[in-house]
Chains A and B, each alone.
Chain A
Amino acid sequence: MQCENICDTTTLKIMQSELGITGKKESKLRHNIHVFLCIACLNLLSFLLDCPGTSSDQAGKSSACQGCPNQSICASGATKAPDPAIEEIKQKMTSVKHKILVLSGKGGVGKSTFSAHLSHALASDSSKEVALLDVDICGPSIPKIMGLEGEQVHQSGSGWSPVYVEDNLAVMSIGFLLSSPDDAVIWRGPKKNGMIKQFLRDVDWGEVDYLIVDTPPGTSDEHLSIVQYLSGAGIDGAVIITTPQEVSLQDVRKEIRFCKKVNLPILGVIENMSGFVCPKCKNTSQIFPPTTGGAQRMCEELNLPLLGRIPLDPRIGKSCDEGKSFLTEVPDSPAAAAYQSIVQKIRDYCASHSASDVSC
């Protein structure tokens, strides 16, 4: 195999084991995976050497390519061919009306909390079908927040069946594939990407009005993959979550740049953990202080809608820990009112936009 000329045998064996290849795979699959491995090797090398890049017009043709063992693969155009899964996912997603990503550059700002409660709120209209997909492969919080810990996924003739919280609210997460709460998913990028592809292609979502996708923090494999695999189907847009302080905003600005780079429309920004009202004396404290103007100033500077601000409320964290919907537990709280106002704006956006209007 040509990759052995570039990677040492140990590295190659690790990559093969991470992609789950055994000797029993069909030869066509083995060929595709060989190409994939070569591409993965080449992507690493392109960072380190003067390789023009596997997707470049010069791939396989530039002077730097002379002597490269995989020159012929690049020159053949195989490395620029789109992943067939993109078309398969596009077909699968024809039954999904609206797709919304929940993003943040920063961890711990409330993406999963918001994704879960957005799903609950949308599903409170029993005429709507809602699906929640958790692509945080290393830290899947959605099963706990939705009260579905310990549930398992089943396979049927039409694919994987998601887990239903309500008749009209389906959930999928890698958490359902783990047998113990201590199981760690210690996977590198390519294996995480494969899982995300399976979630999009092989889960039998059925007819869905809203697909909400909860993501991990950052701008890496998971984010690139979800945008790439949904590029045929189209994404309505992304909701960006932040907390008020600059340490959070500085990461969120990077996420906003990511969205612009991949042509992902931004529905708006939500400022979470925005002030805490003491239950005893009713004074407000800014635990995460907006030292640089908070999300409001950032939105003004970047010309983005501020969808709303959600205050810190200990009952939100408690509901998440107990797997209950905060909107049902404490419907009269200021935080619940903030949520409902934001959800309505998202409904209105979806009603006036169609995913097929935009392409990533």
Chain B
Amino acid sequence: MDGSGKGNLDQVKHVLLVLSGKGGVGKSTITTELALAFRHAGKKVGILDVDLCGPSIPRMLSVGKPEVHQCDSGWVPVYADPQQQQQLALMSIAFLLEDSDEAVIWRGPKKTALIGQFVSDVAWGELDILLVDTPPGTSDEHLAVLENLRKHRVDGAVLVTTPQAVSTGDVRREITFCKKTNLKILGIVENMSGFVCPHCSECSNIFSKGGGEELAKLTGSAFLGSVPLDPLLTESLEEGRDFLQAFPESSTFTAISHIANTLLNSLNA
């Protein structure tokens, strides 16, 4: 791409990164659910999936294997809701792979180069919020995203953790990464926070309890809320269904909506 990609983020009002030092805590899940919540609130949303080795978002939004087209400004994002008014745009390396089981076995420099293109050369158009889903860690992908977003305002990062110490231990390092790179921390989400047995309603703290809130206190960050372990949410993500539309009565819906509204308020403030 030559300079034709310049300005692709000019009409994106807010950029929000979803980070965690730890793998498997639900970054992609929270990114997907926040995007759906923002869309239900009438916002135009984009998701940039920069997890090049394990891109999960396309499946969670039931997008399948569309072709990525080019236009004068660059790559056209894939819309997760083509029947509607293109309210949810998505870009992921999953769309560029012929075979979905193919491994992307790239070292840092190659990942950095593609992420640069993803950030600058996708013709997002007008968006209220662009969510960036990241892989775990504090390495090439994270540095590449921030370097390429330098010219554009980044509102901040949402950090996802599970309650247990093994998770919060890694997320502390991610908080340090945010501080070192001057990335504002919008808050911490504690995911997989308790499991209510559907048979007897007994609550089990499978991944411990309270770690996210403690971490927020320890590091002076905002605590955005807890999302419980919910097999209905996991199933919805497996099948690419909109959980928020399907299960609006659930406590998980309440938890996610609360977090989304808190974020919307802080972005508009």
Contacts and interface: CB of A to CB of B under 8 A. Distances in A.
Do they bind each other?
Answer: yes
Interface of A: 40, 43-44, 47-48, 105-109, 112, 137-139, 141, 144-145, 181-190, 192, 216-221, 223-224, 245-247, 250-251, 253-255, 257-258, 261, 276, 278-281, 283, 285-289, 291-292, 312, 314, 317-318, 320-321
Nearest to A321: B165
B234 interface: yes
Among B113, B169, B239, chain A packs the most CB atoms within 10 A around the CB of B169
A280 B21 contact: no
B180 interface: yes
B25 A108 contact: yes
B135 to A, nearest CB: 7
20 contacts: A105-B103, A107-B23, A107-B25, A108-B22, A139-B136, A141-B169, A216-B23, A216-B137, A218-B54, A218-B135, A219-B103, A220-B108, A254-B104, A278-B200, A279-B202, A281-B202, A283-B197, A289-B238, A314-B205, A318-B208
Contacts of B207: 314, 317
Given A220-B53, A220-B108, A224-B105, A289 B206 contact: no
Nearest to B197: A278
Contacts of B180: 184, 186
A185 B173 contact: yes
Nearest to A216: B137
Contacts of B234: 245, 287-289
B197 A285 contact: yes
B31 interface: no
Contacts of B238: 245-247, 289, 291-292
Given A189-B140, A224-B105, A254-B104, A105 B54 contact: yes
Contacts of A276: 195, 204, 206
A183 B177 CA distance: 9
Interface residues of B, number: 64
Contact of B239 (A187, A216, A291): A291
Contacts of B56: 247, 250-251
A321 B53 contact: no
Given A107-B22, A250-B59, A287-B231, A139 B204 contact: no
A188 B200 contact: no
A184 B54 contact: no
Contacts of A254: 53-54, 101-104
Given A219-B105, A255-B103, 18 more contacts: A112-B166, A138-B137, A141-B170, A181-B173, A184-B173, A185-B138, A189-B107, A189-B108, A217-B23, A219-B104, A221-B107, A221-B140, A246-B59, A247-B28, A250-B56, A276-B206, A278-B199, A288-B234
B198 interface: yes
Contacts of A318: 164, 208
B202 A278 contact: yes
Contact of A186 (B139, B199, B205): B139
B214 interface: no
B199 A188 contact: no
A183 B175 CA distance: 9
Nearest to B200: A281
A76 B188 CA distance: 53
Interface of B: 21-25, 28, 53-54, 56, 59-60, 100-113, 135-140, 142-143, 162, 164-166, 169-170, 172-177, 180, 195, 197-200, 202, 204-208, 229, 231, 234-235, 237-239
B177 A44 contact: no
A138 B197 contact: no
Contact of B54 (A107, A281, A312, A321): A107
Contacts of A247: 28, 56, 59-60, 237-238
A184 B177 contact: yes
A247 to B, nearest CB: 5
A184 B138 contact: yes
A247 B233 CA distance: 13
Nearest to B209: A314
Contacts of B165: 144, 321
A219 B53 contact: yes
B207 to A, nearest CB: 5
B231 A321 contact: no
A107 B136 contact: yes
A106 B206 contact: no
Query: What are the 8 closest A-B residue pairs judged by CB atoms, nearest first?
Result: A108-B24, A107-B23, A189-B108, A138-B137, A218-B53, A184-B176, A281-B200, A254-B103
Given A247-B59, A320-B166, A321-B165, A182 B23 contact: no
A281 B204 CA distance: 12
B139 A188 contact: yes
Contacts of B108: 188-190, 220-221
B204 A183 contact: no
Contacts of B21: 138-139, 184
A144 B231 contact: no
Contact of B24 (A48, A107, A192, A312): A107
Nearest to B198: A285
Most buried by B among A190, A288, A320, A321: A321
B119 to A, nearest CB: 16
Contact of A250 (B100, B104, B109): B100
Nearest to B54: A251
B227 to A, nearest CB: 13
Contact of B202 (A108, A112, A280): A280
